[in-house]
Amino acid sequence: MSVRTTELVIIGAGPAGICAALEAASHGVKTTLVDRGEELGGQLIKQTHKFFGWHKKSAGTRGVLIAKKLAGEVLNNENITLLNSTEALGYYDDGTLLVETPRGIDRVLGDRLIVATGASERMLLFPGNDLPGVYGAGAVQTLMNVHGVRPGDSVLMIGSGNIGLIVSYQLLQAGVRVAAVVEAMPTIGGYAVHASKIRRLGVPIMTRHTIKEAYGKEQVEGAVIWELDENWNGIPGTEKDLEVDVVCLAIGLTPLAELLWQCGAEMAYIPELGGFVPLYDETMETTRKGVFVAGDVAGIEEASTAMAAGRMAGLSAARSLGKVSDLDYSRLRNEIAGELEGLRSGPASAKILSGIAKMRAMLQSVKEAAAVSEAEPANRPAKQAASEPTDAGDLPKAGARDSEAQGNNGSKSEEAVGA
């Protein structure tokens, strides 16, 4: 087993991780960027559509081309070491990140860590949901846009958020029929322009509808959809049988946060952000000192916000390593914060902002509880990892940390209502 030492380790080379790496590297931070895939760009490599946002910031550019551009910048950056086809296994008290490379297990020792591992598809419960042919939307995109293989002949798309609408369009572009898009809510979840685009192409979007079951002997041969009443119950008699061989789930993403659980960051269940998310402050730092987050792992959002949040995390990590002057830090932090604010200023972002507010409130109470317990150490049980982040060089050393309870699940709130 070999050991690599570096200043900053970033897990995940999607838009958030790459932008974090580029930002940190621009301040002279020696950065190691780890990704389990071979190709850089995360989910961007499958996005054939043009992005929205600011004209000066990649709007109007196809996701696949944004990915290529970012990948090029990473590969040409002398401060960034890329470890692709490398899976992060765990992050330990002494700052060791254990990784599995194609050659075996390695250790990467860094002073700071940014977790930008993104998110994964949520599952929906219905009879037949484990049949071959039931695929996540990401899987359908990967198959079509990365490997050039059609997922099937005819698809039922479940979910009319942006992903469901965009992937439906991409299916049509690949020559695959989309029998219908079903949406449990009374209104379409994604942007109207995405919905209008596929309506013009003759794809029905059925609100207040969901899948009743998928059926088939060994794989999906058909699916039954039905209408929902006000209590989210299927209405008998409204069933429609669709001849499809693919059922595509696009009902939302949930953060891939195992590493954050494992390394002891405080987590909380916040439905507006997609599930269990880390608690983090304005600098993107979690309750585990020196561990920052960015992108979908911190809350399901968009590539544009992932890129900005990545920059913020990279800047914060660089700052905490003493590599950014007060003046530069102030200027850049305001610039990035302003960008995030702008991206989140429309009505489409109300949910995210509400989720972030909830998350900050929880972070605040965790910090207050920690402050109280630090003031009365004799009488209170050891509380986990909630100290104020301070400047570089102040991280607790291995062995000085309180023993950490396993499975600290953070705050639990009400159950999520699935779409």
Partner 1 sequence: METGRSSCKTRIEDHPILDFPARKEVTFTWEGQELRGYEGEPIAAALHAAGIKVLHTSHKSKRPRGFFCAIGNCSSCLVVVDGVPNVRACTEKLREGMRVERQVGTGPAPRARE
Partner 2 sequence: MSTLVTTGVPSAQDIAGVTPPEERRARGPYATIECFQPIPCDPCHHSCRFGAIQEFEDINDIPKMDWSKCTGCALCVAACPGLAIFVVDETYSETECLIAMPYEFVPLPEKGQPVKLTDRAGIVVADGIVQRVVAGRKPAGTPVVWVSAPKRLATVVRGFILRKEG
What does the per-residue mask of binding to partner 2 show for 59-78, with x meaning CB under 8 A? xxxx-xx-------------
143 part of the interface to partner 1, by CB under 8 A: yes
**Any residues with CB less than 8 A from the CB of 48 and at least 6 apart, and which?**
62, 63, 64, 145, 170, 173
Select from 197, 240, 351, 401 the one that contacts partner 2 (CB under 8 A). 197
Asked if residue 13 binds partner 2 (CB under 8 A), the reply is: no
Three-state SS sequence of 318-350: HHHCCCCCHHHHHHHHHHHHHHHHHHCCCHHHH
Considering only residues 78, 218, 326, 376, which one is a binding residue for partner 1 as defined by CB under 8 A?
Answer: 218
| CB 49 within 8 Å of CB 326 | no
Q: Which of 19, 74, 179, 203 binds partner 2 (CB under 8 A)?
A: 203
Nearer to partner 2, 15 or 275 (CB): 15
* Token representation of residue 163: 């992903």
Q: Which of 19-27, 168-176, 180-188, 315-323 is the region at the interface with partner 1 (rule: CB under 8 A)? A: 168-176
Per DSSP, the three-state class of 248 is strand
Q: Does 78 bind partner 1 (CB under 8 A)?
A: no
131 contact choice in partner 2, partner 1, none (CB below 5 to 8 Å, kind-dependent): partner 1
Residue from the set 200, 217, 397, 412 that interacts with partner 2 by CB under 8 A: 200
Strand 246-249, strand 134-136: pairing: parallel
Query: Taking Cα atoms as reference points, which of 233, 242, 236 lies closest to residue 203?
Result: 242
For the CB of residue 198, give the shortest distance to partner 2 in the complex, in Å: 7
Cα separation of 279 and 51, whole Å? Answer: 29
Q: 233 burial class (0-12, 13-18, 19+ CB within 10 angstroms)?
A: exposed
- By beta-carbon proximity to partner 1, the closer residue of 154 and 320 is 154
Residues in the interface with partner 1 (CB under 8 A) total 34
Binding residues vs partner 1 (CB under 8 A)? 36-37, 48, 62, 64, 120-121, 123, 130-136, 138-140, 142-145, 147-151, 153, 173-175, 218-219, 256
